[in-house]
Amino acid sequence: MKARTIMIQGTASSVGKSIFVTALCRLLKQDGYKIAPFKAQNMALNSFVTVQGGEIGRSQAIQAEAAGIDPSVHMNPVLLKPQADATSQLVVLGRAMEVSDAADYYRHNFDLLPAIEQSLNRLRAEYDIVIIEGAGSPAEINLMDKEIANMRIAAMACAPVILVGDIDRGGVFASIAGTMQLLPPRQRRLIKGFAVNKFRGDISLLKPGLDFLEKRYARPVLGVIPYIRDMGIAQEDSVYLDERSNVKKSGRPYICIIRLPHIANYDDFDPLEALCNVRYVSRPYELGQPDLIILPGTKATINDLIHLDNIGMSEEIRLMAQAGVPIVGICGGYQMLGNKIIDPHHAESDTTETNGLGLLNMETVFEVEKITTQVKAGVTGNAGLLQGMQAVKVAAYEIHMGRTKSLSGQPAFTVTQSVISDKPYAEGGLNEAGTIFGSYMHGLFDNRDFTCTLLDNLCGLRGIPPVKKHWPDREKAYDDLASVFRKNLDMQGLYKIIEGGANG
């Protein structure tokens, strides 16, 4: 018997669809069901690598974790990763296929429907309920006849749809009513209920609007979800970086993360936010006096590095490094730390070669083949930030086009397990003082022993008392999220909609 389905769509991007699905994955798991998430097409720069080496959207990996299952490429068969030149890299079933602009993509995207349907059917054969996430809004009238992420997938899956609106933006009733008005009748019939997300205040003040929706459309409002601060769960859209709290924690290190124009996998740094004062900065004057600067991943390394040069951030980072401020680069940020970045095949940029920051003696060359692999590694470097960490082991994942060659200095890590090599290999780089290091490994800071020891070393270098280790508990975060949703959703009504399906 095929699994039942339910689909969460939104009135716009960033209304909270991903978190809504994450909450339902944990809720229904708690109720004893085998749950799988699914998103037919995702456009995101935050991605994850499965055990088999396939790349999917990070949000689907988080949802799978909330459901208590291993992530699979079938949970996100189509992933689009935007690049600097208005193009996107197309990833199908975990593998990078081509780079195209929007017009080219929409001329051929229906060719992807068989792979999408096969992945959906595979999940439906293995699980009790598949929770499907839409993309953006289903009512984009310029895309309705081209989309492969919203109502076309709901019809394919025979999935009832819950339409979610974000009240924190304002105009939530207009956005829900406008969506219903713009949808053609056959698609409107698939919507079986509404939910209001990110509410702050007295819920009784919403009653006239909620009553209006239920009366006008003869569908229930299943719940009003309160605004949740510091939920401790990675979020997909970089818009959420604007909502990150910068509350000062007394006696904690101050970490600046450079907010690159094409920043990717910024959830790498969520554990640091729980332990330190973390701020995302876009301009040199925002840096202040940091104890650590981090250059994060990016899908457009060369273009973002040129941007840093143009706004004076590159020079400011060099000056900070000369003054002894520790610098860490992850993936694209690691590539920026070197002397040169060369892109002979124009894999990421029209620029063939550019100078790096020159903080590590190494060069990076972009190649056509993309590396995607989970890894296990040990710390090799033994100075500064990595002092005394040779017994520390880490588990992480790599997603990158470039290959980096060290010209001198010591590697930061030794990879002992990877799908791309059956032999150990050196990874990352560390300067002689140990104040600057880089690595291709995403998820590095999710390793508790590594991060806690690194922060102890940082505090020693900067003359700060050791950080109290209130390590974030992601399982508890999923349970807490589910608890909020269970209290504020009509669970009986939700199950009724799931049981009724698209024709209920």
Residues 215-230: what's their mean pLDDT? 93
Reference 132, options 20, 21, 2, 3; nearest CA is 21
Give the 3-state DSSP-derived string for 75-120, with helices as H, strands as E and coil as C: HCCEEEEECCCCEEEEEECCEEEEEEEHHHHHHHHHHHHHHHHHHH
Q: Is the predicted pLDDT of residue 243 greater than 60, yes or no?
A: no
Give the 3-state DSSP-derived string for 329-354, with helices as H, strands as E and coil as C: EECHHHHHCCCEEECCCCCCCCCCEE
How far apart are the C-alpha atoms of 468 and 473, rounded to whole Å? 15
Which of 331, 345, 346, 400 is catalytic? The answer is 331
Please state, in angstroms and as integers, the Cα–Cα distance from residue 502 to each residue in 25, 191, 457, 498, following that order: 20, 8, 56, 8
Reference 343, options 335, 333, 351, 334; nearest CA is 351
pLDDT tens digits for range 296-305? 999 899 999 9
Q: Three-class SS of residue 359?
A: coil
Assess contact for 41 and 78: CB atoms under 8 A: yes
Which residue carries 């990996």 as its tokens? 61
State the span(s) of the chain assigned CATH 3.40.50.300. Answer: 4-231+477-499
How far apart are the C-alpha atoms of 58 and 447, rounded to whole Å? 17
pLDDT band of 345, cuts 50, 70, 90:
confident
Reference 179, options 229, 225, 216, 204; nearest CA is 216
The superfamily in CATH containing domain 4-231+477-499 is P-loop containing nucleotide triphosphate hydrolases (3.40.50.300)
Q: Output 191 or 349, whichever has higher pLDDT.
A: 191
Tokens of 194: 């509404």
pLDDT tens digits for range 375-403? 999 999 999 999 999 999 999 999 998 89
The superfamily in CATH containing domain 251-462 is Class I glutamine amidotransferase (GATase) domain (3.40.50.880)
Q: Please give the pLDDT value at position 472.
A: 82
Amino acid making up residue 36: A
Q: Please give the pLDDT value at position 155.
A: 96
Residues 52-79: what's their mean pLDDT? 96
Please state, in angstroms and as integers, the Cα–Cα distance from residue 226 to each residue in 122, 432, 499, following that order: 35, 50, 26
Tokens of 179: 């969506």
State the span(s) of the chain assigned CATH 3.40.50.880. Answer: 251-462
Instruction: Examine the residue annotation and report whether 442 is marked as an active-site residue of this protein.
Output: yes
Instruction: Examine the residue annotation and report whether 262 is marked as an active-site residue of this protein.
Output: no
Within 10 angstroms of residue 342's Cβ, the number of other Cβ atoms is 15
Average pLDDT, the chain: 92
Q: Which of 185-199, 311-325, 342-356, 423-437 has the lowest mean pLDDT?
A: 342-356
pTM: 0.91
CA atoms within 13 A on the CB side of 97: 13
Q: Is the dihedral of CA 458, 464, 469, 472 positive or negative?
A: negative
Q: What are phi and psi of 117, to 5 degrees?
A: -65, -40
Which of 262, 276, 442, 459 is catalytic? The answer is 442
Identify the bridge partners of residue 402 per DSSP, sorted by sequence position: 366
Assess contact for 337 and 348: CB atoms under 8 A: no
Identify the bridge partners of residue 15 per DSSP, sorted by sequence position: none
Assess contact for 47 and 71: CB atoms under 8 A: no
**Helical segments of 236-381, H only:** 270-275, 301-310, 313-322, 332-336
